[in-house]
Amino acid sequence: MKHSHDNNAFLQSPLRHSYPPMSTDSNFSASAQADSSHPAPATPAAADTPPHNTADNQAHTSRPGPGHKPPPEGVYLRTIKSYVLRAGRMGTGQIKAFELYGPRFQVPFTPHRHFDPVAAFGRSAPLVLEIGFGMGDATAKIAHARPGDDFLCCEVHEPGVGALLKRCGEENIGNIRILRHDAVEVLEQMLPAAQADGSGALLDGVHIFFPDPWHKTKHNKRRLIQPALVAKLAARLKPGGYIHCATDWEPYAQQMLEVLSAEPLLQNTSTDLALAGYAPKPDYRPLTKFENRGLKLGHGVWDLVFARR
Ligand SMILES: C[S@@+](CC[C@H](N)C(=O)[O-])C[C@H]1O[C@@H](n2cnc3c(N)ncnc32)[C@H](O)[C@@H]1O
């Protein structure tokens, strides 16, 4: 497999590129809960606990079966989550950032109410959804590098949200808004799917950089990049919009390539046969903390860029 750093020639932001037609979560609970968005903190060891195999224990990738009744509004069934909420300690700067910059840069999770980008950003611009920004270093750099685009950034890790809020405030990064919530629920409840003719979608791009690899086979079901989620993402992209994923875990890269390639609404933008379906690293994506760590461990890094037909 070709390493994505072998080729740095891909320069443009995909939004200006015209593509061809293209934690400690122990949320394996079987019971319905009033709010699954704030799973109870648990120890990292608990994350290795195998899921109980019950009918209600559905991954976010599963679909309701016959006879399924949706829960009343505001009540969510607990599902297998792609993250583990760790009781990370917030620094004083991060705590202060919530107070100082939260009102400007955070947007609330509004179940069943669609996100209004013009109201949130005060302008109409291409909109990119980022899932899982970690401490937000790459996010801040990308937002600086692409001032004409707006970034709606989801993260559940509170210190990470604090860190990015701090940067947004101190560096006056006006094209970022932060949603501290499970991106899967944000997608389902706040972002409309496109109509059959492609109209009505809000997203021009999706960034998912170094999502938790969930190495163990028994935890693979927690991975974000699965067919149902990719179908939901694709349905929320405008025609020509893109999904950009990156990982340093080869088996996950292979899963990403397989899942993204199988989604009928998407088309691979990588045409370089030598890269075997992977994309050269787009210039707008800087090295992230996780990537640096992976590179030091001798891992490869794989970028994948698919476009909505
Ligand atoms: C391995 S880190 C990578 C962070 C960052 N993208 C980077 O490259 O440094 C994955 C992040 O995704 C977040 N995450 C996982 N599932 C999520 C979800 N469903 N919604 C929001 N954030 C999520 C985790 O909290 C974690 O911070």
Nearest protein CA to atom 24 of ligand 1, as residue:
132
Residue 157: is its pLDDT beyond 70? yes
Indicate which residue's Cα is closest to atom 4 of ligand 1. 134
What percent of the chain has a predicted confidence (pLDDT) above 70? 75
Ligand 1 proximity of 154 Cβ (cutoff 6 Å): yes
Is residue 108 pLDDT above 80, yes or no?
Answer: yes
- pLDDT over 80 (residue 120): yes
Is it the case that residue 159 has pLDDT exceeding 80?
yes
Count other C-beta atoms under 10 Å from residue 74's C-beta.
Answer: 9
Residue 142 banded pLDDT, cuts 50, 70, 90: very high
Ligand 1 near 83 CB (within 6 A): yes
Find the mean pLDDT for residues 277-302.
87
pLDDT-derived band at 124 (thresholds 50, 70, 90) equals very high
For the residues 141-151, what does the mean pLDDT come to?
98
The answer, yes or no, to whether any atom of ligand 1 lies below 6 A from the CB of 133, is: yes
Ligand 1 contact, 130 CB (< 6 A): no
Q: What is the 3-state secondary structure (H, E, C) of the chain?
A: CCCHHHCCCCCCCHHHCCCCCCCCCCCCCCCEECCCCCCCCCCHHHHHCCCCCCCCCEECCCCCCCCCCCCCCCCEECEECCCCCCCCCCCHHHHHHHHHHHHHHECCCCCCCCCCHHHHHCCCCCEEEEECCCCCHHHHHHHHHCCCCEEEEECCCHHHHHHHHHHHHHHCCCCEEEECCCHHHHHHHHCCCCCCCCCCCCEEEEEEECCCCCCCHHHHHHCCCCHHHHHHHHHCEEEEEEEEEEECCHHHHHHHHHHHHHCCCEEECCCCHHHCCCECCCCCCCCCHHHHHHHHCCCCCEEEEEEEC
CA angle 149, 152, 155 (to 5 degrees): 140
Q: Relative to the CA of 184, which ligand 1 atom is closest?
A: 19
The residues spanned by each domain of the chain are 12-39+49-63+76-308
Specify the range with the lowest mean pLDDT, choosing from 5-19, 78-92, 136-150, 161-175. Answer: 5-19
* Distance between Cα 210 and ligand 1 center (Å): 8
- How many angstroms does the Cα of residue 245 sit away from the middle of ligand 1? 12
Distance 261 CA to ligand 1 centre (A): 23
Contacts of 174 (CB under 8 A, 6+ apart): 121
The confidence band for 87, taking pLDDT boundaries of 50, 70 and 90, is confident
Q: Worst-scoring range by mean pLDDT, 29-43, 74-88, 164-178?
A: 29-43
Res 150 pLDDT > 60: yes
Q: Which ligand 1 atom sits closest to the C-alpha of 182?
A: 20
Q: Could you tell me the pLDDT band of residue 48, with boundaries at 50, 70 and 90?
A: very low
What is the per-residue pLDDT across 50-71, written as a single tens digit (0 to 9) for each? Answer: 333 333 333 444 444 555 565 5
C-beta of 249 in contact with ligand 1 (< 6 A): no
Query: Relative to the CA of 136, which ligand 1 atom is closest?
Result: 5
Positions marked active-site: 212
Among 3-7, 76-80, 113-117, 195-199, the range with the most confident prediction by mean pLDDT is: 113-117
Does the pLDDT value for residue 31 go beyond 50?
A: no
Determine whether the shortest distance from the Cβ of 157 to ligand 1 is under 6 A. yes
Greater confidence, 59 or 278?
278
Q: Which of 1-15, 35-49, 102-116 bottoms out in mean pLDDT, i.e. has the lowest?
A: 35-49
Report the residue among 131, 152, 187, 206 best suited for mutation to probe ligand 1: largest number of ligand atoms under 8 A from its CB. 131
Q: What is the atom index within ligand 1 of the atom nearest the CA of 213?
A: 1
Say what the pLDDT of residue 25 is.
33
Highest-pLDDT range among 70-74, 94-98, 285-289 = 94-98
Q: How many residues does the chain have?
A: 309
Ligand 1 near 212 CB (within 6 A)? yes
C-beta of residue 14 within 8 angstroms of C-beta of residue 307: yes
State the pLDDT at residue 79: 83
Residue 18: pLDDT band by 50, 70, 90 thresholds?
A: very low
Q: Considering the entire predicted model, what is its pTM?
A: 0.80
Q: Could you tell me which residue, 85 or 34, shows the higher pLDDT?
A: 85
Q: Where is average pLDDT lowest: 45-54, 226-235, 248-257, 261-270? A: 45-54
- Amino acid (one-letter) located at 12: Q
Cβ of residue 294 lying under 6 Å from some atom of ligand 1: no
Q: Confidence band (pLDDT; 50, 70, 90) for 47?
A: very low
207 alpha carbon – ligand 1 mean position (Å): 11
The reported pLDDT for the residue numbered 143 is 98
CA separation for the pair 20, 123 (Å, rounded): 28
The fold of 12-39+49-63+76-308 is Rossmann fold (3.40.50)
- Tell me, using a 6 A CB cutoff, whether residue 210 lines ligand 1: yes
Backbone angles phi, psi at 140, to 5 degrees: -65, -40
Sign of CA dihedral 146, 285, 251, 182: negative
The residue with greater pLDDT, 32 or 293, is 293
